[in-house]
Structure 1
């Protein structure tokens, strides 16, 4: 009896040791990806693609690299399904990350340091190298379990999302290659949740990036000028501030999600005449301008907001003008996030089977590559399996805990298995 008990203990320890080793290897691969410098504006895309291709090779996935724009490689991997007539699954992620201020970080943002609590600090740990690696690790687990997909599963690693995605996902979606894939559903990035439930996004706010310019009389700084450039710009900034405050009040009152209000943030303020020591102090500038990042939810009348912009925030009567740097004026596209959509049902149930829970579907407060797929008529959900974690996208000390990362892989195991096993054909783009 004692020998049997001893044998069972030894076996259990071996299993635990193997699981621990596997977990360490999984985390190590994640850290390796995080350490690749894909920071805008000079991301090392080729190094990232080489690393991802090495992972694809270890999983025997089909691989092809395309450059829709020179110097910006797009990697497409394929896990072949048994029924090519069924619309495929596309798991999308971007390889680039935003810049950082190294001095504001506790640990270097490209070292992927893991502290004593198991928190991994790195740019891209939440946005969104974590998700790209979770796709791959989930497939690794599914293959080890003997699972074979019915639908083909594609993994898309696109460049340039952080600067608009025009040379990345947009070019990919416009290509003959994408049209040939017969994609039925796309999963892309979401946001971390501070609670136990996972956030899911079925649409997003439209970005308006614009510059408001004001002109006025130049001259000596000792003279009082009526309708000076800076005075006119400050009037507009105050009007915008009041509008912003009204939107903030809606958010702070509760019951309204961030993706349901208009966000307005000033990105820069430019005025004055430069000098070797700073600015000329006795010269009234003839021009002043401010840049704004505005995000419009699908529920807002964008035409009415544009009238406000032209008539109130940048009126020609005050020698003001507006220049759009980016503007999406198309009708906002939403993916059905209720039980009428089988993709939603499968996602919700798969998360539940993995021990998690989805919160009420939301409008993504910013912009992601998912919009390009929706524009092509393909349903898309934004989903990052990160719970109990503050959202630190584009922030200092972006991190993801080891435990949360590993748990997210199991969530994607459940989702990919559910999606890739779904055999009903009349389910693809009509569900958008």
Structure 2
């Protein structure tokens, strides 16, 4: 009886210690989420201080870079036993999109933990503060187990991803600091998965932000005549809508994934002559314009899309012009699609698959990311970059109201990253003679 009582007390203590540890892990996540890094005025300094403090608790080397004043990029380093080997880069961004507070059930920066569901409601809970802190928690567990990396592991917490990443990841990837890091593989963000399979991305669609402008003679609101600015713009919008429907039909029919088609969405319409009470109602305007967010997969024919825009959507014959506010090519400097290999030519891919499997996770079919991430800046420099966020059985709520991540899914994701980081940081490339024997 005494032995049974002792075993019961020991097991109870172990459970209690585990619960205390989990509470601390969740608390750190909540503290990061509570830092308001939403645009247009993200509190980057507080976020940088928080990350530096966490890094200090793990004895990681910390460097704060500012390619543009007021936009700190925090770079952490876990030194490997062989610094000559290509390193691992775990990238995440600190900024989040704005939230319409009155449309949330819980304030978006309170990081409210629902007691029954276990959901943590906060802007950035999925996109992508979860990933940045999961990296750190995974390293905490690896250190506690006594693991020492063979390869150096870097963690970058970058600003401005939500507004294009030009003052963050783009400048970082083009810097001397980055070149000296000798990076061999980059992990960046992915998307939540509504089912049990984790989603993984090897490429992404490039943003083309297009503005179409129509001009015409002004006229009385009651007069009917050809080639008014509004008439010509409406014809263009109808043409765009038909193209959008044809692409969307492929997705709805299951013939293509969302990341494999060209998406077009009108994001603004600007026309009319303002008046103190709204708009002048009996005057046809001489100018009208519309903006479109176009996302182009790496498999698309850029030249064909450009011709469609010039000949169908904004033909000069209808007094129309167009310009790109942003246009990112789907090809690299060699004219090849910017994608990461997902076959035997890329050992990092096989390592990822095996690491997720060994952590009891299931990987879905590799995809093209439907939007844009900072990974494009690293892929554009010839580096393999994989988009992955370990969130299964989770609705996709990035940029949505009531964004949340369940605490159990968050904790499970830490174990997934622990397995991936260990596999990547331990990887030894086969010697040439071993590779030759394997080929034979």
> Same-fold call, TM > 0.5?
yes
Tell me the equivalent position of 2:31. 32
Secondary structure in 2 matching 1:214: strand
**Contact 1:87/1:425 (CA < 8 Å) preserved in 2?**
no
Distance in 2 (alpha carbons) for counterparts of 1:10 and 1:197: 38
Distance in 1 (alpha carbons) for counterparts of 2:348 and 2:56: 29
Tell me the equivalent position of 2:67. 68
Tell me the equivalent position of 2:49. 50
Alignment of 1:112-123 (within 5 A): 112-115=111-114, 116-123=116-123
Tell me the equivalent position of 2:289. 289
Aligned pair 1:405/2:404, yes or no?
no
Aligned pair 1:378/2:383, yes or no?
yes
Tell me the equivalent position of 2:104. 105
Alignment of 1:71-86 (within 5 A): 71-86=70-85
Aligned pair 1:215/2:220, yes or no?
no
Equivalent pairs counted in the alignment come to 426
**Contact 2:297/2:330 (CA < 8 Å) preserved in 1?**
no
Q: Structure 2 unaligned runs (5+)?
A: 332-336, 433-440
Tell me the equivalent position of 1:415. 420
Tell me the equivalent position of 1:341. 346
**Larger CA deviation: 277-286 vs 91-100:** 277-286
**Contact 1:217/1:225 (CA < 8 Å) preserved in 2?**
no
Alignment of 1:336-375 (within 5 A): 336-375=341-380
Secondary structure in 2 matching 1:72: coil
Distance in 2 (alpha carbons) for counterparts of 1:63 and 1:88: 16
For each residue in 1:10-57, what CA deviation from the matched residue of structure 2 results, as whole angstroms up to 9, or x when unmatched?
111111111111111100100110010100111010000000000000
Distance in 2 (alpha carbons) for counterparts of 1:147 and 1:319: 66
Aligned-pair distance for 1:216?
1.0
Q: CA RMSD in A?
A: 1.1
Alignment of 1:262-273 (within 5 A): 262-273=262-273
Aligned-pair distance for 1:329?
2.2
| TM-score, scaled to structure 2 | 0.95
Secondary structure in 2 matching 1:325: strand
Aligned-pair distance for 1:152?
0.5
Tell me the equivalent position of 2:173. 173
Secondary structure in 2 matching 1:28: helix
**Larger CA deviation: 243-252 vs 277-286:** 277-286
Secondary structure in 1 matching 2:268: strand
| TM-score, scaled to structure 1 | 0.97
**Larger CA deviation: 221-230 vs 318-327:** 221-230
Aligned-pair distance for 1:419?
0.3
Aligned-pair distance for 1:426?
7.6
Tell me the equivalent position of 2:435. none
For each residue in 1:309-351, what CA deviation from the matched residue of structure 2 results, as whole angstroms up to 9, or x when unmatched?
0100000110111110000125131111123321001000000
**Larger CA deviation: 301-310 vs 335-344:** 335-344
Distance in 2 (alpha carbons) for counterparts of 1:61 and 1:34: 22
For each residue in 1:284-332, what CA deviation from the matched residue of structure 2 results, as whole angstroms up to 9, or x when unmatched?
1111111000001111101101100010000011011111000012513
For each residue in 1:265-298, what CA deviation from the matched residue of structure 2 results, as whole angstroms up to 9, or x when unmatched?
0101111111221111111111111100000111
For each residue in 1:222-248, what CA deviation from the matched residue of structure 2 results, as whole angstroms up to 9, or x when unmatched?
222311111100000001000000001
Distance in 2 (alpha carbons) for counterparts of 1:172 and 1:12: 48
Secondary structure in 2 matching 1:53: helix
Aligned-pair distance for 1:413?
0.3
Tell me the equivalent position of 1:153. 153
Secondary structure in 2 matching 1:68: coil
Tell me the equivalent position of 2:309. 309
Tell me the equivalent position of 2:253. 253
Distance in 1 (alpha carbons) for counterparts of 2:431 and 2:218: 67
**Contact 1:30/1:130 (CA < 8 Å) preserved in 2?**
yes
**Contact 1:197/1:356 (CA < 8 Å) preserved in 2?**
yes
For each residue in 1:119-163, what CA deviation from the matched residue of structure 2 results, as whole angstroms up to 9, or x when unmatched?
011110000000000000000011111111000000000000000
Tell me the equivalent position of 2:322. 322
Tell me the equivalent position of 1:430. none
Distance in 2 (alpha carbons) for counterparts of 1:160 and 1:344: 28
Secondary structure in 1 matching 2:72: strand
**Contact 2:75/2:156 (CA < 8 Å) preserved in 1?**
yes
Where do 4+ consecutive residues of structure 1 move more than 6 Å?
none
Distance in 2 (alpha carbons) for counterparts of 1:33 and 1:24: 14
Distance in 2 (alpha carbons) for counterparts of 1:220 and 1:102: 43
Secondary structure in 1 matching 2:363: coil
Distance in 2 (alpha carbons) for counterparts of 1:267 and 1:128: 24
